[in-house]
Structure formats: C-alpha cells, structure tokens
Structure 1
Amino acid sequence: MSISQTTPTGKPLKGKRNSMTRPQSAIEEVYSNIRNDIENDSLTPAYRIRLHNLFRQIEKEFELLYQENQNLHEKVELLNEKIEREVYDKQSYDCVDFDNNIAKVLSKKLSTTSTQKLKTAYKLKAQTSKIVSSFKAPHLNCAFIKEYLGHKDGIWEVSVARLGQPIMGTASADHSACIWSIDSGRCLLQYHGHSGSVNSVRFHPVKDLVLTSSGDCSAHIWQAVVNWDLPKGHSSEEELEISEDCDDQRCDTKAATLRTPVRELGGHNNAISAAEWLAGAEQVITAGWDRLAVLHDVETGSTITTLSGHDLELTHTATHPTQKLAVTSSRDTTFRLWDFRESVQSVSVFQGHSESVTSAVFTHEDKVVSGSDDRSVKVWDLRNMRSPVATIRADSAINRLSVSLNGIIAIPHDNRHVRLFDLTGQRLARLPRSSRQGGQGHSRMVSCVAWSNDYLNNINLFTCGFDRRVLGWCVQSLRDKEL
C-alpha cells in the first residue's frame, strides 16, 4: 500500500508502508502540532491535563493495535515459510523421483540390449542426473556484519562511494543526507542543505562530490570532505540526534555539518524522487513528480533538455556505467530508455508491468532489471527488449533494487524481506529477518539495497529501511567462503 506524504513545504516524498508498518513520524507530527495548539491556547489547566491524558490513552491503544497487527503478520510469515519449505521439498522429491523413474526405464530396456547400448544408456543416465542436479540453486551464505544508526526518520536510499573509499551515504526523510565510515560505523558528515525529504544520494565516480535529490523540488551537488579524525569510541548512535521515541536518549553532534551546496539544480515544480550522474559525470539526470526528467550541465547547473512523455510521477532514474544511457521509472507502469549518445536523444518505452515501476537499473552485462509494485522483477536484454528474458514473482511490492558485478539481484520488499536471485530468475537466498534471527534484519519496509564492488570491512551489501537503520551484510557463496 502506498501513502503519499508530500506537502507544499517538501515533506517526505513518498511513504510506502504496508499494513504492519507503523507511520510513526506522521503521527508524532500531528500530535506535536495539536499539543502546541493546546499549550498556546488559553485553556484552563484542568482541561489541558484532560486533553493530554486522552492523547496518552489514544497512543496506548494505537501501540496495542500495532503490536497485535505485527503478531498476526509474524504468524502469516511462519505459515508462508512452511509453505515455501513444503514446495521446495516437493520439488526436490519430484526431481529425485524423476531420476529414479528414468533409471528404472533404462534398466528395463538395458536387459535386452548389447554392451554398446549399455554404455550409451548409462551415459544418458549420467547426463540426466547432471540435468536434475542443475535444478538446485547455488547456496549463498548471508551474514549480518554491522548496523548504522542515527537518522530520525525513514531512510530512502543507501549508496556506496565509487572511489574505493570505505564510506557510504544515506538519504532520509528527516531532511538530511549522511556520510558514514563503513569500518567504524561513525557518521562523518551530515548534509542539511535541503528543506524537504532527501530521496536519493549518489557519489561522483572520481571526485569527492555527492548528488542528492529532495522533496523541496531541487537536487544538490555538495562537497563530501569527511573528517576521519573523530574521537574513537563514538558510534553512529552518538553522532546523530536520536529521536524522542528511542530508548537511547543520547544526543551528540560531533559529526561535521554542511549546509551549502556547490551547485543547485532546478527545472522541476514538484518533488524530485531521484538523481544520477550520467557516464562521464559531466551531466546529471533528475526524475520528478512533475512527470518530467531533466538533463543538467554539472559545470553551469543549467538545464540542457527536459524529457517528457511519462503519464504519471517518476519514481526513479539510473544510468549505464559506461555509456550515455539512462532509464526512468514511473507510476504509469512503464520505464523509458533514453539514449544521449547522439546529438538528438532517442527514447524507447517498455510496458512490462501492471503497476508502478519503482526502479529500473542497468547491469554490467547490458541488461536492465526492473522492479514494480505489481510484485514482480523483470530482466531485459538491451539488444532485444520486446519482452523480458526472465521474470521473478514475489509476495510483496518491490522497492529500489540493485545488481552486483557478478549478476546477483538484491530485491528489497515492503514486507521487510530482502531476497537474492540471479539474472535467470533462479532464487539464491534470503537475508535473515529481525523476527526470526534475534534482532538481525529490518523490522519495517526495506526501501533500498546497494552492492559494493569490493568487500569493505567484510561487507558487500547494504540495506536500509523505514526502521531508520542501515545494515551491512556479507554475501558469498559457500565455495568462496571455503577458499
């Protein structure tokens, strides 16, 4: 389910929350506004106390309902896990039964054949066994490594630096973007230049620059000069203000704060959902809720061209790693491929989903992977994009996905799951969840995932969500682990 959170002042762009997710910040804001009105009004003390008591009762009732709803979802997940295990066991049994039946048929026929036919038949049986064994997906080991805490509201996006530095960035609905040390977990820099929800964060490929987009209708380019000499012993929880509803009430502001961008990019009259560097990093493309994508010149900040055609709000944009190609995703159920390699850009429209396309990204094998609220992920070949080469079906809406260099698709879901597939649609693994793994995993919607090209502090996958947390994971095959 999708709940819009836009306001004229550039509040959080979009609040995709399923029925089990508590819309905490919105309730707190409403309650805070009413409380301020009560305190500023000329009410009698007794009446004011009564109102406060009533609001406290409402909060308690809401907490009880929320907990009950979460318990029901836990039961549903347990049942889903049971069904998945039964389906997997049945598939494994069918494969074994198929192999045994082939063996019986071959044995019966072999009793009346010559020695040469015996060899041929056993060879056929061996090939059949190889085919059956190939049905089994390679197993990945997924281990939780580190947690990064500090944002006061949900986190829309996580991104890893491309320069090889052990840092990553986050974009949050609390109007801030942060740069984190992957090793220590400390927040090194906070950017507070936006007046609305920060919806995306992307690092420049070769410079210490960061690109962010916001619900305040602007995109900013700012200098990401971080201070690595922060005092040891300070975690990310200490460097960012912890919200009032957290158990930990510590507040520490040792992380550097930046408020002024190097360049501000306009061209939109509504919230900007995402922004990305085009190959070469001389241009930037932004995607907005005004149904437009805009190509900007980085040096001057001017608008090069405005790209129109989508019928509804744009939700995401991504660019090819080496060519001047970009894709824009939209709530109109399509994504578009824009080609800027010639002086006159061309566009192709792809209609493979039945609901909002939440993200579409390029792979390093010249493919495009798209995810949608229709609970599907589709893999497309750039050489022939008339129909997808693989389709992955899920049980929950898809958010901002990511594809690793070796072709593993990490898929974040509204229902707190993160699942891993290969480019053929074969399921590889699922990351642990908080309810089943003693606190590991996300407790609310997972909004974005990001692969790292290298293992940074033994981490190669980051996930973020509306539980205000970023989690670092080590994902590797058992073969790699043994080596």
Structure 2
Amino acid sequence: MEIETGEGQVQIRLITKQQQYAVPDIPYSIGASVSQEELNTFVNALLQENVDEKSSKPIIFEFIVLNEFLRYRLNDHLKERSVSFEDVIEIEYVERFPVPEPQDCLLHDDWVSAVQTHGKWILTGCYDNTVNIWLVNGKHLLTIPGHSAPIKAVSWISIHDKVATFASASQDQTVMIWEWNIETNAVDCIYVCKGHERGVDSLATSQSCKLLASGSWDTMLKIWSCEQHDDDGEVSSKRLKGEQTRTPIKTLSGHREAISGIQWLNEETILTGSWDHTLRVWDLEQGGIKSEINGNKPIFDVSHSKLNGLVVTSSADKNVRLYDLRSNSGTIVKNTYAGHTQWVQSVCWSTTEENLFISGSYDNYVKLWDMRSPKAPLYDLLGHEDKVHDCDWSNPKYMISGGADNTVRIFKSKKSI
C-alpha cells in the first residue's frame, strides 16, 4: 500500500562506493517524506556514531535513488517512478562535487569563439581573426595573426621537446596548422589546409595526433594529415620553413547543413553533429556513414567520454542530451538535461569524472552537470555577460569558457585530482 505524501515510514539501505564514508549495512526506517537535507543529517549522524573522534564539519552528500539524484522529497521521487513504499529502497550516497572557484578573466579584443586547454596552456580563437596562447594563471603569451576571418575552432595536436603543434579553423575556409617553439615563444604556420568551400566550423585531432577532422558550412567532413613530411612523403625529422598548402586525405559527404561538432571515437570512427538535426557516425576505412541519429533541432556540439563511452550534445532546443550509441534496445537517448533558457552552444565531458560534464549557452551561463541529475545542474558557473560560445574541460583542474563578452572565464576544480 502506498504511503501518502508526508506520512508513514519506509525502509532504506544506505550504500556507498566511498568506503571511508560507509555506514553499517542494515535496514533503516525513516520518514517517507524525507528530504535530501534530512538524509544528509541522518548519514552524518551515523558516521559520527562510528568514529572515535567527532568531526566538527559535516560532509555534504548527494543521494542516488533509482539511478537519479534525489532533488525533492523521497516519497515524490518514488511515486514518480511507481515504486512500492513497501520495498526496501536502496539509496547510494556520494560526496558532493565541490563548487568550482572562479579564477582569471582573460580579456580579448573581440568575441571568443573557441577554447581548449593542454596542461598549463590555453588556446583561444577570436572573432578578430587571431589565435591566442595563454597560461592557466592568466598570463598572455602570444597573439597569432594569419587568418583573414573569425576563428571558429582550435585544437591542440601534440607537444614534443619544447615544440607544440596546434590547429585553427576559420570562416576564411581554411584550417591552419601551427608550430610553436615554447622556449623562444615563436610560432610559424607550417601548413594551410585548403579544400573547404565555405567557412570551417568544427575541428578535432585524432588520438594518435596524426590526423585532423574538420567540418564546414559546405556540409563536408574532411580529414587531413597532421604529420610533417618531405616531398617524397616520408616523415621528416627537419623543421619545415614556411607554410605549405595541404589538401585533404578524405572528403566525406552526407550532411545537408553545416557540421558544427566533431569527435573522434577511435582512429577509424568519427562522430559529427550538424545543423541538419542529425548525429552521424562515420567509418573512415569504408569511407561512409556507419549510422545516423535524427533529432528535432540543429545540433551545435558533441562530446564523447572515454571514461563511460557516452555522448552529450548541445542543441537549439535549449537542451543537452545524453546518448548511448552502443544501445541495441530501447532509445539511444538516455536522458535530457533542461536548465538553459537559450541555445546551448557547447558541451564537454570531464576527463577524470565519468559522470560530470559542462555546457555553455547563449543565456550567458556555463553549467556543471552530473549525468544522474537531469532536472538541475550541480552548479551555475557565473561571470559571462553575453553569449557563451565554447567551453572546455580538457585539463581536469580547469573549466574554461569563451564568449561574446570578449572574455575567457576560468573556474578551478577544488577536488584533488
């Protein structure tokens, strides 16, 4: 028999994977209308009973009931899922991810449309046609001219022996590959990749750092070599002097509108998202489309997690969606995250926390999500005063974002990595 809201008791079992916070594995009887805050008080009281030294500071936990964070009273959570109140309810608890701390604000001369970190460096692309390199402590290292139109995407390629390579994609229809001498802080464009017939909107480097993929408003997906070669095709050990034109290794067609997001799933498989409302998985060996997933609005960005194999997308319908591309039964869409009030322009998984990702939107907000909490983000990362164009969490210590307020915002994770 169901217990009405605010009445009766339920039996629960409390479990955690964080063994330092484990409580006795026995059933507990609690009020059915218990809230998240009351559960926190209860678990902390149990922990205090099982330690010799009393802690003055309670630990804040999140509670997972039926694979989703508890965001309102337990009885309402159970009723929504048609769970009997006579069952013993298993509740998993995890320490809450600490609120990220705002760090520096990096000022640019125009809109910031692309950001990516690599270790202590930040690469940014700007609407004033320049690429910039910064340190995560806010120090500006280089402004790099060369493109003749706004930058729409940037991607680190590799770092070897004090020399880094990276790429930038622009509305001038080109992708440029750059070589940066870190010791002398000098940069050269070594390749200009030509072949797109409209502006290039998205860019990604393969895991081997040997290939680049670019997506454009010409609807084409193009694959480029990142390696430095002599004229006979052999990989060169010499540093090239001056830029050379590079043509694509492969051109793949199938999208009907701009390709706005790219991720390498592995060296032979690429995921793309497009303004044509579709996600497509491409098989490079076969040179064609492996699968196609239809949505109902333009898709602006895609992010694939190596930790859990799942994909999140950002869209013009103001939502973030979670996909399991491996799913053979039921829907491929596993969850929808509602909270933004304008187009969601960018998404990025954490590289160390398998449940966490960030999103950036035209509503000026960056939001930090746990995939088990679709009804509300963990935190709103405030600071932007205009549209957020891009966000990145490649370095687990820093969440960064660029926007139409001409700034890059940096938030530092307080969790020890």
* Alignment match of 1:447 (pick from 389, 394, 409): 389
Q: Any residues of structure 2 matched to 1:328-339 within 5 Å, and which?
A: 328-339=272-283
Question: Does 1:187 pair with 2:152?
Answer: no
Paired amino acid for 1:366? G
Question: Does 1:378 pair with 2:331?
Answer: no
- Judge conservation of contact 2:166–2:178 (CA < 8 Å) in 1: yes
Tell me the equivalent position of 1:415. 363
Q: Any residues of structure 2 matched to 1:61-460 within 5 Å, and which?
A: 98=5, 100-103=6-9, 123=27, 125-126=29-30, 133=39, 134=63, 135-136=69-70, 138=96, 140-149=98-107, 151-161=108-118, 164=119, 166-183=120-137, 185-207=138-160, 208-226=164-182, 258=187, 260-299=188-227, 301-320=246-265, 323-340=267-284, 342-352=285-295, 354-364=296-306, 365-384=308-327, 386-394=331-339, 395-405=341-351, 406=353, 407-426=355-374, 427-433=376-382, 441-455=383-397, 460=398
User: 1:425, 1:370 → 2: CA distance?
Assistant: 16
- Judge conservation of contact 1:273–1:289 (CA < 8 Å) in 2: yes
- Judge conservation of contact 2:299–2:315 (CA < 8 Å) in 1: yes
Q: Give the 3 Å change call, closer, same or farther, for CA 367–432 of structure 1 in structure 2.
A: closer
User: 2:301, 2:169 → 1: CA distance?
Assistant: 15
Deviation at 1:143, TM superposition (A): 1.7
- Judge conservation of contact 1:189–1:227 (CA < 8 Å) in 2: no
User: 2:216, 2:287 → 1: CA distance?
Assistant: 22
User: 1:452, 1:298 → 2: CA distance?
Assistant: 20
Q: Give the 3 Å change call, closer, same or farther, for CA 454–374 of structure 1 in structure 2.
A: closer
Q: Give the 3 Å change call, closer, same or farther, for CA 189–308 of structure 1 in structure 2.
A: same
Paired amino acid for 1:215? Q
Tell me the equivalent position of 2:241. none
User: 1:146, 1:297 → 2: CA distance?
Assistant: 35
* Alignment match of 1:471 (pick from 385, 409, 413): 409
Q: Give the 3 Å change call, closer, same or farther, for CA 442–274 of structure 1 in structure 2.
A: same
Paired amino acid for 1:144? P
Identity of aligned residues (%): 21
User: 1:284, 1:318 → 2: CA distance?
Assistant: 10
Q: Give per-residue Cα distances to partners, 1:394-432, cap 9 Å, x unaligned.
A: 322101111102131111110111111112344343334
Give the strand-richer structure, 1 or 2: 2
- Judge conservation of contact 2:344–2:359 (CA < 8 Å) in 1: yes
Paired amino acid for 1:171? G
Paired amino acid for 1:218? T
User: 1:281, 1:432 → 2: CA distance?
Assistant: 31
User: 1:139, 1:179 → 2: CA distance?
Assistant: 30
- Judge conservation of contact 2:103–2:411 (CA < 8 Å) in 1: yes
TM-score normalised according to structure 1 size: 0.61
Q: Secondary structure at the match of 1:400?
A: strand
Paired amino acid for 1:194? H
Deviation at 1:227, TM superposition (A): 5.3
Q: Give per-residue Cα distances to partners, 1:224-277, cap 9 Å, x unaligned.
A: 22358xxxxxxxxxxxxxxxxxxxxxxxxxxx675x511111121100001211
- Judge conservation of contact 1:318–1:328 (CA < 8 Å) in 2: yes
- Judge conservation of contact 2:368–2:381 (CA < 8 Å) in 1: no
Aligned length: 320
User: 1:127, 1:420 → 2: CA distance?
Assistant: 31
The higher radius of gyration belongs to 1
User: 2:210, 2:34 → 1: CA distance?
Assistant: 50
Q: Secondary structure at the match of 2:378?
A: strand
Q: Any residues of structure 2 matched to 1:51-66 within 5 Å, and which?
A: none
User: 1:381, 1:203 → 2: CA distance?
Assistant: 27
Q: Give the 3 Å change call, closer, same or farther, for CA 130–388 of structure 1 in structure 2.
A: farther
Q: Secondary structure at the match of 1:219?
A: strand
Deviation at 1:323, TM superposition (A): 4.3
User: 1:430, 1:410 → 2: CA distance?
Assistant: 10
Q: Secondary structure at the match of 2:399?
A: strand
Deviation at 1:128, TM superposition (A): 6.4
